[in-house]
Structure 1
Amino acid sequence: MRRLTATQTRQARAAAQGLAGRATTVAGAVRKVVALQAQDVRANRLAVRVRTTGLTAADVDAACRHREVVRTWAMRGTLHMLAADDFGWVTGLLGPYFAARGAPRRRQLGLDEATLERATTALDTIATTPLTRAGIVERLAGHGTVLDPRSQAPAHLLAYAALTGQLCRGPDTAKDEPTYVLVREWLGAQRALAEDEALARLAERYLAGHGPATAADLAAWSGLPVGRAKRGLAAIHTEPVEAAGEAAVVLAGHAGDPPAPSRLLGHFDAYLLGYRGRALAVPQAHAHVIQAGGGFVMPAVLVAGQVVGTWRLRSTMDPMRVELEPFGESRIPDTRNEMADLGRFLRRQVVAGKPMG
């Protein structure tokens, strides 16, 4: 059995995640890791930056408008960006599971089965073009479903409609406000795969973009039960390895990916959300800094797959300033190339600022 040290495991995972930045399209960057977290639009753009070369934030928005990628509820029942051609099988596999798990909370919010049926029937009529959440709530009221816009009911209704394959996110407004639209109108007819085929595809794609990893990692990332993760991995060709002292697998015959340079990862980056824990990537003494509470994952300075500090972008007037904060005695390498690339991506002047304090 091939044995990888902790350092080698981190480096292999960072490379598998596409953090060498070789992708030339937004869809290619997303497809590399199956999906990118997308509840924060600005962070979602930055996750594309570190996985691509030559693209800008405007290119990410254009890819959404041109339907090359689409944001919807997927892994763990949360918002993710998918390549459009992955939408059908991913949501077909994950959507029913998370829609069922969300039923108790929906009932607490007054979204019983009768209300859901009435609302989703109305959505088939009113969401033929992209609408904001407020626009949907207003039009639903005219069809007999009144939702308190200040409550969580509208968000849970939209998530349910997305998880059941009815809605997806459309293009954001100029102020980054999300819109929602019928899948059939935005992406066309979608075809789900049989569960076993979809599980195998998910496992294969996950390992290609995250390996070496375990069934527990796949389960934590996807949100599916570990039994289903094991079924998916058992259906594909894998090679056992020992990764940082733990039994794991990689794709059999996978040639590996180019090594990743030092990167400035944004909030909620897939590298820090792709496994059952972050102990390998984040020193335990500083885990509370990266996981700031409430599921909030901070921007991280990554060196050879190891998080060595955090960073913050002061986005006031030009020049924008990047403030770095190393962990303890950790040394943050020269980040001028990353700052220059960040400025190019955002089309702003970016310079080094004083350390965070």
Structure 2
Amino acid sequence: MTDLLRVKRLTAQLLAAPADSVLTVAAHFGAMQGQDLGAVLWALGQRARSSGKPATVTTVRDSFNRGEVVRGWPMRGTLHAVPAADLGWMLSLTTERLMRGAASRRAGLGLDEQTLDRARSLAIDLLGGGHGATRAEFLEHLERNGISTESSRGYHIIWSLSQTGVLCWGPFRAAEQELRLMDEWITNPTVLDRDDALCEFFSRYINGHGPATLSDFAAWTGLTMGDCRTAVRLATERGRVHPFLHNNESYFVAELTEPGIETTGPRLIPLAGFDEYYLGYRARDAVIHPDHAQRVVPGNNGMFKPVLLQDGVAIGTWKRKATSRGLLIEVSPFEPMPKRQLQHDLELVFQPFADFWETPLRSVTTE
């Protein structure tokens, strides 16, 4: 991928210039991978401003607390942060296939329809009338009423009820989210027919990821190729996306622009783990050299470390440790970094991260 296409992605990903609110970020992307709660809070926050200032963790949590953004499982069986109003139409496209694909796993756990129906009734009893429950409280409620949550059963019950539109992760209680009834917490859902939903899904994906391809979208959503082609056709016909050829492959963008008008933003960017810039495409060779990929996801175990970008390319991973005196950041570069400017540059890079978490930056070291 050329440097120009990489710059366009940085712009689409709101890493070159932030949006004006957390909800605007979520709506721009459609969905942002969010199985790691702390990671998705930073992924949203580093792309947003609030009242003209950089967003903080309080800003992002407030957006969840107001019911603007929720976490759910709109695709691929993976938690994502999405605009609350959009979760329903996303599920309408993906639920049937995902539930069918998980049938053998549910059977292996002894989660038949009768058990799930009972869990659904218990969820409504516990959460109805605007009540919330933490994960632990919800699972305890199931156990008290005769439904075992051992051996991943609890997770799959929550997943199944969320996938079928009963539950979502809503407001915060301290540092964790509460489960809420989806039809109570999401008060003004957007309702779309299938064609409109497919068009919207692809349009949102390209808003936040373009330039990207049909195969990128298929990998991101887990939809059938037939549905993906329909989504591309509708979004193109309606002028929501625009195709162009690069190396004999069709890419799509939200707007056609002249070369060179995008701004690159900061040269060094600390991405969250599971960030859309890294995970939101079928191929990652535009972001990282293949020799370094195992450093980000060791053993292909599915756990993606936070990545440090330089000019849109991954140059290392990083991790944080919270202490009573502030954050300790450790950077693990893939290749030796220039020592003269290293410390000063990295402290400048990670100061906004500490500011986001509303805590001092104690130190930044390299491995």
Aligned to 1:336: 347
Asked if the contact 2:44–2:60 (Cα under 8 Å) also holds between the matched residues in 1, the reply is yes
Instruction: Give the whole-Å Cα distance in 1 for the aligned partners of 2:115 and 2:218.
Output: 32
Partner Cα distance (2:140, 2:327) in 1: 39
C-alpha separation between the residues in 1 aligned to 2:29 and 2:262?
13
> How far is 1:21 from its partner?
4.0
One-letter amino acid matched to 2:277: Y
Gap change, CA 1:97 and 1:21, over 3 Å in 2: farther
Task: Check the 8 A contact 2:166/2:181 in 1, yes or no.
Answer: yes
Q: Which amino acid aligns with 1:69?
A: V
* Whole-angstrom distance in 2 between the partners of 1:236 and 1:23: 23
Of 157-166 and 18-27, deviating more is 18-27
Whole-Å Cα distance in 1 between the matches of residues 143 and 332 of structure 2? 49
Determine the structure 2 residue equivalent to 1:260: 265
Aligned-partner SS, 2:165: coil
Does 2:144 align with 1:137? no
1:191, distance to aligned residue in structure 2 (A) = 4.9
Q: Which SS does the other structure have where 1:240 is aligned?
A: strand
Task: Determine if contact 2:86/2:189 at 8 Å carries over to the other structure.
Answer: no
Q: TM-score, normalised by structure 1?
A: 0.90
- For residues 68 and 235 of structure 2, the distance between their equivalents in structure 1, rounded to whole angstroms, comes to 28
1:294 aligns with 2:296: no
Task: Return the alpha-carbon distance in structure 1 between the equivalents of residues 332 and 90 of structure 2.
Answer: 37
Q: Distance in 1 between matches of 2:330 and 2:247?
A: 32
Structure 1: stretches of 5+ with no match in the other structure = none
Structure 1 residues 67-117: Cα deviation after superposition (integer angstroms, max 9, x where no partner): 111111113121111112222222222233322222211111111112222
SS at match of 1:335: helix
Q: Which amino acid aligns with 1:218?
A: F
Give me the whole-angstrom Cα distance separating, in 1, the residues matched to 2:12 and 2:247.
Answer: 16
Stretch moving more, 43-52 or 236-245: 236-245
* 260 and 228 in structure 1: CA distance in 2 versus 1, 3 angstrom threshold: farther
C-alpha contact 2:68 2:83 (8 A) present in aligned 1: yes
Matches within 5 A, 1:144-159: 145-148=146-149, 150-159=150-159
Q: CA 1:236 to 1:257, structure 2 compared with 1: closer, same or farther past 3 Å?
A: farther
Question: What secondary structure does 2:141 align onto?
Answer: helix
Does residue 251 (structure 1) correspond to residue 257 (structure 2)? The answer is no
Alignment of 1:307-326 (within 5 A): 307-326=314-333
Counterpart residue identity of residue 114, structure 1: Q
**1:263 corresponds to which letter in structure 2?**
I
Name which of 37, 44, 47 aligns with 2:43. Answer: 47
Identity percentage of aligned residues: 32
Residues 239 and 249 of structure 1 are in contact (CA less than 8 Å); yes or no, is this contact kept in structure 2? yes
Q: Aligned to 1:169, what secondary structure does the other structure show?
A: strand
The question of whether the paired residues in 2 share the 8 Å contact of 1:92 and 1:192 is answered with: no
Aligned-residue offset at 1:263? 0.9
- Secondary structure, in 3 states, of the residue corresponding to 1:118? helix
State the partner residue of 2:109. 109
Alignment of 1:6-155 (within 5 A): 6-53=2-49, 54-128=54-128, 129-141=131-143, 143=145, 145-148=146-149, 150-155=150-155
CA distance in 1, matches of 2:41, 2:262: 22
Shift of 1:196: 1.6
Change (3 A) 1:355 1:244: farther
Change (3 A) 1:313 1:216: same
Distance 1:306 1:99 in 2: 37
Local SS of the residue matching 1:18: coil
Separation in 2 of the partners of 1:231 and 1:163?
23
Q: 2:224 — aligned with what?
A: 225
Q: In 1, Cα distance between the equivalents of 2:73 and 2:257?
A: 29
Q: What is aligned with 2:206?
A: 207
TM-score, normalization: structure 2? 0.88
8 Å contact 1:21–1:49 — kept in the other structure? no
Flag the 1:204–1:186 CA change in 2: closer, same or farther, 3 A.
same
Distance 2:132 2:202 in 1: 33
Following the alignment from structure 1 to structure 2, what is the Cα–Cα distance between the partners of residues 99 and 273? 23
Deviation at 1:166, TM superposition (A): 1.0
- In structure 1, what is the Cα distance between the partners aligned to 2:257 and 2:82? 23
Determine helix, strand or coil for the equivalent of 2:58.
helix
Instruction: State the Cα distance separating 1:169 from its structure 2 match.
Output: 0.9
Q: Partner amino acid for 1:269?
A: D
Q: Does 1:278 align with 2:277?
A: no
